Amino acid sequence: VSFFASRWIEAPAGATEAQGGLPRGFRGAGVAAGIKESGLPDVGLIVCDAAGVTSAARFTRSGTQSAPVLVNRERVALNAIRAVVVNSGNANAATGEPGMHDAAEMQRLAAGAAGLSDPSAVAVASTGVIGVPLPMEPLQAGIEAAGAALRSDGERDFAEAIRTTDQFAKQVCLDVELSQGTVRLCAQAKGAGMISPGFATLLCFIQTDARLSPETCELLLTVTVKRSFERMSVDGQLSTSDTVILQCSGESGVEIHQETDDELRFGEALDAVLRQLALAIARDGEGARRVGRVVVRGGDESGVARVARAVANSPLVKTALYGGDPNWGRIIQAVGMALPGTAPLPVDIAIEGVSVCSGGAYVPHDAQALKTAVQREEVEYEIDLPGEGFETELYFSDLGHEYITINADYTT
Amino acid sequence: VSFFASRWIEAPAGATEAQGGLPRGFRGAGVAAGIKESGLPDVGLIVCDAAGVTSAARFTRSGTQSAPVLVNRERVALNAIRAVVVNSGNANAATGEPGMHDAAEMQRLAAGAAGLSDPSAVAVASTGVIGVPLPMEPLQAGIEAAGAALRSDGERDFAEAIRTTDQFAKQVCLDVELSQGTVRLCAQAKGAGMISPGFATLLCFIQTDARLSPETCELLLTVTVKRSFERMSVDGQLSTSDTVILQCSGESGVEIHQETDDELRFGEALDAVLRQLALAIARDGEGARRVGRVVVRGGDESGVARVARAVANSPLVKTALYGGDPNWGRIIQAVGMALPGTAPLPVDIAIEGVSVCSGGAYVPHDAQALKTAVQREEVEYEIDLPGEGFETELYFSDLGHEYITINADYTT
């Protein structure tokens, strides 16, 4: 099965899926350090051996950012990240000054394990329980073990080590043909598995051996994150720990200049990878049964964005998706909630291409055919608001019994 | 059991619960017209026989308001509402021009049944399925039957007729002692039962025989709705149909002047009634097991409100409440989400009086005692943000398997 499994994501032109192996200049590892009670892998390390590395990073906007996020912001050269160290099982969030000290120590230990003299070249990430001190003793042993285990094909071990309750690891390696040669693009993500007593955290790490200036790196990551991880909702909850990092070793010798066809092609590959990962995360969200895609068009950019968010976050829409119920009354309710004071609003709604509401009023349609269409694994909702010129999309998971079981029945 | 069952609502001074009977000047009825498939009562009528009635009304801010809400806004003298007609089983929402015509016809029919020459003295409300035309034939028969059944003690029948999937009817009659005599205050509400294929709708109708100017009526309703129905969340979803109406017959002969002790006392009674009804609705929300109250304090009014809303609407907080899990990591996550860009944020959190987080970091506490405390039917969360001067509260229901079952498993 192709990585690009969704009908909503076009496989990028000139890109082929590779069997594995990190891009030239990278090594990776994942080990079990005993931070997770399960004994599963919980410490991951990615190291770029090229001194000329360029990078870019994105973090959660939360007002209660975890200690690793704060340390990255304060103590890392974000455009030249050589190594990334990650632990799962403990988020090091709401841990105060001791937590900041632990995150900085984690950074220092990883620099040592990676053979780097400057800790500011190491980014840190943690995911798991909130409000519990990081167990530094097993973590130290784990980081040392990961350093010893670094391999050029360590990306699968790394992807396993960053999982929490994800049902499956999420990673891909692509070869992308550019005008001057072929570059490799790898990405590993963990998603919206819910961790007791924590919550959804998005982590994604991307490596390539293409050579990009820090500015190009920053630009491409900004644009593609906006179109992927900022266009998805599992339960509308912003994490304390979300982190996305792109590292470029340049070791392929293939340089990507701004505003070239190569930049476009590489950008399209990166875009498709991040969008498919976002979809995979929504699919994996709390044992989700189905994933929805809402497309909203209209003349007011802010209104279009608010409507998409309101539909994707509505527990009523999500439970209908779970139930395989073409309940468009809940769609129009969410639209109205997102646009207060605009009644009467001539909104059009289509589900799986079937028009159900036009000008704000119901449209007679084949209810049985629609009911069959929404039983599929992917369900599309289209909403047209007054005016033209803006369009947005959002992927979202359903809300079912598994979400309740994971988040309520298994308590601390 | 007293109507004022919650520890969070003080029974108002000088008020006693009456056995029943509408305030002087009012008659009410509820009948089964066959709009609901179940055959349960589905048409309600409240009529004030006093020509000098004063009133005030509040409606949903939704951009997709139902036809009855639009008709009320366009065609009703909202400060002199003589009669209220309500049907359950069909929301008359997303029904376009035909729906507007049906709502106006419903208004005209109710005026006839109430013996009123002017339809603009009649307010209308509908709750139930969205996007399906109102069945006018049974509705007409139902309104005529309700007119024939009007009684001075018809409030219980009326309260039954406005239910959808509410587990229990919500109504109260109070006698309130004022300086010049005793006035009666009755209220009937329906709440956040989810209706397939509709959603939560709040309706509340309040009657008194006190004499209030339209201005006083408006002022008291505005203030008390802000402190009650705007301070609750079942699933964060704004309905197309929310309607609250206060009618004052003046038939007690007891007048309430602005800025008097009587106004204060009557206002406190109205406030307690609406807050307890709001709590009852949250308790009844989708078979909720527990209800939470979040109190937020701080120096920024908008931030305080956003944090309360984020906590009350978080599916992670709601599932923890359902599971009896003192999961404060989910509280601090919601706080951070509501206040992006403010990290590090020195927030304090207490659950049931137990401090769990101070200055943004965990506080050692007796986890077992806290775990026991959150098993109760009502759980209180206190959040202190930086600064002083603003405080808000919000009631919210939990999120459990019953919500999924009601909203997903029973499909259209």
SS3 content of chain B, % helix, strand, coil (to 5): 35, 25, 40
For residue B192, the model assigns a pLDDT of 62
Q: List CB contacts (< 8 A) between A336 and chain B.
A: 60, 62-65, 238, 240
CB of A274 within 8 Å of any CB in chain B? Answer: no
For residue A296, the model assigns a pLDDT of 98
**Residues B272, B274: Cα–Cα separation, whole Å:** 6
Q: List CB contacts (< 8 A) between A99 and chain B.
A: 361
User: How confident is the model over B210-219, as pLDDT tens digits?
Assistant: 999 999 999 9
For the cut 90, the answer to whether the pLDDT of residue B232 exceeds it is no
**Residues B153, A5: Cα–Cα separation, whole Å:** 63
How much is the pTM? 0.86
For residue A197, the model assigns a pLDDT of 36
For the cut 50, the answer to whether the pLDDT of residue A411 exceeds it is no
* Alpha helices (H) along A168-290: 214-227, 261-284
Q: List CB contacts (< 8 A) between A129 and chain B.
A: 329
State mean pLDDT over A18-39: 95
pLDDT band of residue B198 (cuts 50, 70, 90) is very low
Q: Give the best residue of B62, B71, B90, B347 to mutate against chain A (max A CB count within 10 A).
A: B62
pLDDT band of residue A266 (cuts 50, 70, 90) is very high
CB of A238 within 8 Å of any CB in chain B? Answer: yes
User: How confident is the model over A185-212, as pLDDT tens digits?
Assistant: 999 988 765 433 334 578 899 999 999 9
C-beta atoms surrounding A104 within 10 Å: 18
For residue A192, the model assigns a pLDDT of 62
Structure letter (DSSP) for residue B397: E
pLDDT band of residue A404 (cuts 50, 70, 90) is confident
Q: Is A123 helix (H, G, I), strand (E, B) or coil?
A: strand
CA of A371: which chain B residue's CA is closest? B412
Q: List CB contacts (< 8 A) between A235 and chain B.
A: 314-316
CB of A233 within 8 Å of any CB in chain B? Answer: no
State mean pLDDT over A261-278: 94
Q: List CB contacts (< 8 A) between A197 and chain B.
A: 320, 325, 327, 329-330
**Residues A232, A234: Cα–Cα separation, whole Å:** 7
Query: Contact B126/B68 with Cβ under 8 angstroms?
Result: yes
CB of A412 within 8 Å of any CB in chain B? Answer: yes
CB of A399 within 8 Å of any CB in chain B? Answer: yes
- Contact yes or no for B343 and A70 at CB 8 A: yes
Looking at every residue in chain B, the average pLDDT score rounds to 91
Instruction: Supply φ then ψ for residue A48, to 5 degrees.
Output: -100, 120
For the cut 50, the answer to whether the pLDDT of residue B197 exceeds it is no
As a whole-number percent, the residues of chain B with pLDDT over 90 amount to 72
Give residue A94's identity as a one-letter amino acid code.
A
For residue B72, the model assigns a pLDDT of 97
Q: How far is CA A170 from the centre of its chain?
A: 10
Which of B70, B407, B409 lies nearest to residue A316, judging by beta carbons?
B407
Q: What are the C-alpha distances in Å from B24 to residues A59, B175, B205?
A: 63, 12, 16
For the cut 60, the answer to whether the pLDDT of residue B203 exceeds it is yes
For the cut 70, the answer to whether the pLDDT of residue A138 exceeds it is yes
CB of A59 within 8 Å of any CB in chain B? Answer: no
User: How confident is the model over A294-324, as pLDDT tens digits?
Assistant: 999 999 999 999 999 999 988 889 999 999 9
CB of A63 within 8 Å of any CB in chain B? Answer: yes
Active site residues of B: 201
pLDDT band of residue B250 (cuts 50, 70, 90) is very high
C-beta atoms surrounding A105 within 10 Å: 18
User: How confident is the model over A47-64, as pLDDT tens digits?
Assistant: 999 999 999 999 988 898
C-beta atoms surrounding B216 within 10 Å: 23
For residue A12, the model assigns a pLDDT of 93
- Contact yes or no for B334 and A237 at CB 8 A: yes
For residue B221, what is the enclosing H or E element? Answer: helix B214-227
Structure tokens at B170: 């919500």
Within 125-164 of A, beta carbons closer than 8 Å to B belong to 129-132
**Residues B342, B346: Cα–Cα separation, whole Å:** 10
State mean pLDDT over A97-115: 97
Shortest distance, CA B189 to any CA of chain A (angstroms): 21
State mean pLDDT over B387-393: 95
For residue B145, the model assigns a pLDDT of 98
Q: List CB contacts (< 8 A) between A65 and chain B.
A: 336, 343-344
User: How confident is the model over B131-167, as pLDDT tens digits?
Assistant: 899 999 999 999 999 999 999 999 999 999 998 877 7
- Contact yes or no for B337 and A70 at CB 8 A: no
CB of A267 within 8 Å of any CB in chain B? Answer: no
For residue A286, the model assigns a pLDDT of 61
Query: Contact A278/A9 with Cβ under 8 angstroms?
Result: no
pLDDT band of residue A245 (cuts 50, 70, 90) is very high
State mean pLDDT over A338-354: 94
Cα–Cα nearest to B284, from B194, B205, B160: B194
Structure tokens at A107: 């950074």
Q: Cα dihedral angle (A270, A274, A275, A278), rounded to 10 degrees?
A: 180
For residue A194, the model assigns a pLDDT of 45
Structure tokens at A284: 């994996």
- Contact yes or no for B320 and A345 at CB 8 A: no
Shortest distance, CA A278 to any CA of chain B (angstroms): 20
**Residues A87, A126: Cα–Cα separation, whole Å:** 5
For residue A363, the model assigns a pLDDT of 94
DSSP string, A247-273: EE--TT--EE-TTSHHHHHHHHHHHHH
User: How confident is the model over A366-375, as pLDDT tens digits?
Assistant: 999 999 999 9
**Residues B110, A240: Cα–Cα separation, whole Å:** 55
CA of A133: which chain B residue's CA is closest? B362
**Residues A273, A279: Cα–Cα separation, whole Å:** 10
Instruction: Supply φ then ψ for residue A151, to 5 degrees.
Output: -140, 155
The angle at the Cα of B401, spanning A127 to B130, to the nearest 5 degrees, equals 110
Q: List CB contacts (< 8 A) between B407 and chain A.
A: 315-316, 319-320, 323
